[in-house]
Amino acid sequence: QCKPEMEVWVKGIATGEDALLAVHHRVDGIVVSNHGGRQLNGAMATLDALPEVVDAVRGAIPVHIDGGIRHGTEIFKALALGADFVWIGRPVLWGLAYNGQEGVELCLRLLRDEFKLCMGLAGTIKVSEITKDYLVKVDKSGFVSRL
C-alpha cells in the first residue's frame, strides 16, 4: 500500500490475464502499452490488445492506452473500444522536432480536428456517446462485420 496521495498505475498491460492481476493487486489504473513496439518485433498493437483488457477489468479500474495513436480517428477507436483516456506520444515529439512549441500546438490541433471530424461523421456530439457500435471489422476477404 502507498500513501493515500500517491496512485499506483501499471504500464505495459497487453492481456486480460495481466489486467486481472493488476485488479487483484489493487492498482489504481492500468495503461495498455507495448512500449512503442520497439521491444519485440511484431508486438501486438495497443488497439488490438485494448478490448481484451477492457473486458477483463469490467470497469473496476481506469484503462488508459498509450502507443500507436497517430490520428484523431485512432483516438475515436480507442475510446470506442473502452479506453478511459488516450495518451499521445510520438506525434507530439514529431511536432516538437518540426517547430518547437508551435509544432506541438499544431500537432494537437490536427489531432483534435481529426477527432472532431470523426465524431461528426459518426453522428456523435459528446465523447460519452462514442461506443463500439461505431466500429466495424474488415476480414481478409474485405467483408465488413460489426464488432
List the catalytic residue out of 25, 35, 64, 71.
Answer: 35
Contacts of 34 (CB under 8 A, 6+ apart): 12, 14, 40, 43, 44, 45, 46, 49, 67, 68
Contact indicator for 13, 33 with CB cutoff of 8 Å: yes
In terms of DSSP bridges, do strands 144-146 and 136-138 run parallel, antiparallel, or are they unpaired? antiparallel
Q: Is 35 a catalytic residue?
A: yes
Q: Which residues carry out catalysis? A: 35
